[in-house]
Structure 1
Amino acid sequence: MLWYAIASLLPAGLILMACLLGGVWIWLSLLVMTAHVWVMDRLWDGVLPVQDGSAWARWLSVVLGLGHFAVLVLSVAVLGQGELTVAQGLGLGLAAGLFLGQVSNSNAHELIHRAARWERALGVAVYVSLLFGHHASAHRRVHHVHVATGRDPNSARLGESYWHFLPRAWVGSFVAGFRAETALRRGVGPGHPYVIYVGGAVVALWMAWALAGSGGALALLALAGYAQAQLLLADYVQHYGLRRRVDAQGRAEPAGPQHAWNAPHWYSGAMMLNAPRHSDHHMNPSRIYPALRLEDGMPVWPRSMPVMALLALIPPLWRRVMDHRVAIVSGRAGSDLPQSGHAEAIRDSAAAVGSGGVGPGPDVG
């Protein structure tokens, strides 16, 4: 339980210190969002155990949701005032942007799947503050319904580069989410969530301008754009090349363990609230993050999720690493896939918590 709190709250605290005190705190906050995560993942090859932990996990999400607004407001104010050196501004912007894109995004994603309306509203508010409110609708109404099919704009195709995927997924998810919400409500009216998404984005930009003038508005645009790019980068790497089978009537098979990429690395997983345990999330969308499972047969990246995201920025290297892995997953059982070195730890972890065991993955051939 403690590691989830440490890994997710530590960067928020350091970024707040960087905004208030500047100096070395800027570089510490950037370090803890980058090299620190990589080092911690390398220090231990184990896997965080599966836990229920619903009470403490819910409240950590609430604290992170409130902390998001503190980080965003202070970062916009400091960056917008333009009193930092170029290097300091770049360092703080990168640190805050990484936090917003990796921690705040993962937490908002967790919140919009909660049963309680106020928790979902907090998750929506986080996305709206990042000028990306439509993701709350597109993710639940489109991505979870059509994941790993051609009808989901956020499922990357085999051979598609991230740079091609980025604009296609942004525009496609906005349009698909709007259509899904409009069909659900049989029209556009005052209660349509897109009124909140678009109106909230306008209000957020106005507040940034009121806080720090045009520099504040530009800072919010830069931070939100960087966070959005990371969110879409996560979608890209988590579903790259994987497809569900579709029958003659156009019905796709249920989303299974073979339809998302996963990573068992403990510290980056804790920081992102187990977002890299993505197969189980799609099979059990309401399952709270400490209870998400890793099982044999789930496709596993050769490196942690942050490292794979960096690799995806270089399309030739990404395809060299991933295309043959996609072919393996698409052609036969996921357990045949080259592993990241954590396979034994995954099995030991599942056995230790008495979670019902970890069986072999299904045949997807």
Structure 2
Amino acid sequence: MAAFAAATLAPVALIALGLAMGGLWLWAGLAYMALLSALLDQLLPLVESDASEGAEFPAADSLLVLLAFLALALPPLAILGATGTTLSPAEKIALIAATGLWLGQIAHPAAHELIHRPARRHVRLGIWVYAWMLIGHHASSHRLVHHRHVATPLDPATARRGTGFWRYLPRASIGAFRAGLAAETDLRRRKAQPGPHPYALYAGIAAAALALAALIGGWSGVLLWLILAAHAQIQIHLSDYVQHYGLTRATGPDGRPEPVNARHSWNTAHWFSSALLLNAPRHSDHHAHPARPYPALRLPDDAPRLPWPLPVACTLALIPPLWRRLMKPHLARLTTPPPTAT
């Protein structure tokens, strides 16, 4: 837990110091989010051992709650700094870039964990974080669509082999919105007292976020909030793209896909990015056990592994021809049958 807390909270401290003092603190925060995980994962490629079965982590949810409240506070503070007169133009760019990276790489995994927690208050807090980033529907599409249909054509978040990220992005964003809406609407039909539609809540929170941005910085504040939200959302879709790229579930004789197993998610074993991303790179185990606390997630021996840290893989995916060429041999190893014994 100390590693998770240190990795996720340190950049917030750097950004906060940058807001107050400017200068090197802001550039340090940006370098932390953009470069540090790639450097440390390569220099010290340590793999944290799996937690013992049934291990409990009382502080795990407390860290998630703290990160969620920081995710709600950081965008308005960043807009306040970026629309003020204290920071230079270059420092303002560094502030927005570092904040967007923190939202996409740390706030997103924290919200993702919260919407899978059994306590309703945690789920609601995760929804607030996503809706604050103007992607509240992810709380619906991820739980009701992605986990059910992953690695099949029915999942908008699963990228087909050969599909570049920029071609995948519209399908993933629009498709997830529509699929989540249909799933939530179907659930409401089955309830005697359905209550307000979740998508109305997502829209209300998003409207409140943009209204706050307007109060802070007028139209410039609204534009900056939209930039932060777009930055975070691209990273959310990048993680889905990379973690399921080219992996498919076989269809059985009854026409149904095989059960989800470890072979349907890409994983990485790099230590620092795992701490930074709250063990999101241990993705196969999350799909097998969605309610398992993030410190207890495991690396199955039969799960596909990427040779790069997840943030590096996401960066490579931004260049589709390079990504396809680099991934081709890894996909080939998964689909090549083992040699027949003689």
TM-score, length basis structure 1: 0.88
Alpha-carbon displacement from aligned partner over 1:66-94 (angstroms, at most 9, x marks no partner): 11122222112212346533321221111
Residue of structure 2 equivalent to 1:325: 330
Question: How far did 1:53 drift?
Answer: 4.0
* Alignment partner of 1:298 out of 299, 303, 320: 303
Question: How far did 1:27 drift?
Answer: 0.4
Residue of structure 1 equivalent to 2:284: 279
Is the 2:108–2:130 Cα contact (8 Å) retained in structure 1?
Answer: yes
Show the 5 A alignment for 1:84-163. Answer: 84-163=87-166
Residue of structure 2 equivalent to 1:288: 293
Question: How far did 1:324 drift?
Answer: 2.5
Question: How far did 1:23 drift?
Answer: 1.4
Are 1:313 and 2:318 matched, yes or no? yes
Show the 5 A alignment for 1:150-189. Answer: 150-186=153-189
Are 1:14 and 2:14 matched, yes or no? yes
CA distance in structure 1 between the aligned counterparts of 2:95 and 2:63, rounded to whole angstroms: 24
* Alignment partner of 1:260 out of 265, 284, 287: 265
Is the 2:116–2:123 Cα contact (8 Å) retained in structure 1?
Answer: yes
CA distance in structure 2 between the aligned counterparts of 1:53 and 1:217, rounded to whole angstroms: 42
Are 1:231 and 2:236 matched, yes or no? yes
Alpha-carbon displacement from aligned partner over 1:178-212 (angstroms, at most 9, x marks no partner): 00000011189752100011121111101110122
CA distance in structure 1 between the aligned counterparts of 2:202 and 2:85, rounded to whole angstroms: 29
Residue of structure 2 equivalent to 1:2: 2
Question: How far did 1:50 drift?
Answer: 2.5
Aligned-residue identity in percent: 46
CA distance in structure 2 between the aligned counterparts of 1:143 and 1:322, rounded to whole angstroms: 22
CA distance in structure 2 between the aligned counterparts of 1:53 and 1:306, rounded to whole angstroms: 28
Residue of structure 2 equivalent to 1:356: none
Is the 2:76–2:212 Cα contact (8 Å) retained in structure 1?
Answer: no
Residue of structure 2 equivalent to 1:355: none
Residue of structure 2 equivalent to 1:361: none
* Alignment partner of 1:218 out of 209, 214, 223: 223
Is the 1:81–1:216 Cα contact (8 Å) retained in structure 2?
Answer: no
Alpha-carbon displacement from aligned partner over 1:294-353 (angstroms, at most 9, x marks no partner): 1222111011101111100111110111123123213347xx9xxxxxxxxxxxxxxxxx
| Structure 1 gap segments, 5+ residues each | 337-365
Question: How far did 1:133 drift?
Answer: 0.1
| Structure 2 gap segments, 5+ residues each | none
Letter of the structure 1 residue corresponding to residue 230 of structure 2? G
Aligned alpha-carbon RMSD (Å)? 1.7
Letter of the structure 2 residue corresponding to residue 293 of structure 1? R
Letter of the structure 1 residue corresponding to residue 176 of structure 2? S
Letter of the structure 1 residue corresponding to residue 198 of structure 2? P
Question: How far did 1:158 drift?
Answer: 0.3
Residue of structure 1 equivalent to 2:203: 198
Letter of the structure 2 residue corresponding to residue 129 of structure 1? W
Is the 1:158–1:323 Cα contact (8 Å) retained in structure 2?
Answer: no
Question: How far did 1:17 drift?
Answer: 1.6
Show the 5 A alignment for 1:15-54. Answer: 15-51=15-51, 52-54=55-57
Is the 2:284–2:300 Cα contact (8 Å) retained in structure 1?
Answer: no
CA distance in structure 2 between the aligned counterparts of 1:221 and 1:26, rounded to whole angstroms: 21
Is the 1:147–1:155 Cα contact (8 Å) retained in structure 2?
Answer: yes
Alpha-carbon displacement from aligned partner over 1:106-144 (angstroms, at most 9, x marks no partner): 110011000000011110000010000000000000000
CA distance in structure 2 between the aligned counterparts of 1:187 and 1:284, rounded to whole angstroms: 26
CA distance in structure 1 between the aligned counterparts of 2:255 and 2:22, rounded to whole angstroms: 56
Farther-moved stretch of structure 1 (197-206 vs 115-124): 197-206
SS class of match (2:214): helix
TM-score, length basis structure 2: 0.94
* CA separation of 1:83 and 1:216: change in aligned 2, threshold 3 A: farther
* CA separation of 1:115 and 1:65: change in aligned 2, threshold 3 A: same
CA distance in structure 2 between the aligned counterparts of 1:331 and 1:281, rounded to whole angstroms: 26
Give aligned pairs, total: 334
Letter of the structure 2 residue corresponding to residue 219 of structure 1? L
Letter of the structure 2 residue corresponding to residue 146 of structure 1? H
CA distance in structure 1 between the aligned counterparts of 2:187 and 2:283, rounded to whole angstroms: 27
